[in-house]
Amino acid sequence: MGEIVNLRRARKAKAQVDREAAAAENRVRFGTPTALRKLAEKRRAEAAKTHDGHKRDHGKNDLEKKPTLPDETS
State whether residue 74 is helix, strand or coil: coil
18 found inside a domain: yes
25 found inside a domain: yes
12 found inside a domain: yes
Range 35-61 average pLDDT: 87
In this predicted structure, the answer to whether residue 72 has a pLDDT above a threshold of 80 is no
Distance of CA 44 to the CA centre of its chain: 12
Residue-level pLDDT at 21: 98
Residue-level pLDDT at 60: 66
38 found inside a domain: yes
68 found inside a domain: no
In this predicted structure, the answer to whether residue 64 has a pLDDT above a threshold of 70 is no
In this predicted structure, the answer to whether residue 74 has a pLDDT above a threshold of 60 is no
14 found inside a domain: yes
DSSP structure class, residue 59: -
Domain count, the chain: 1
17 found inside a domain: yes
Mean pLDDT over all residues of the chain?
Answer: 86
Q: Which domain holds residue 12?
A: 7-48
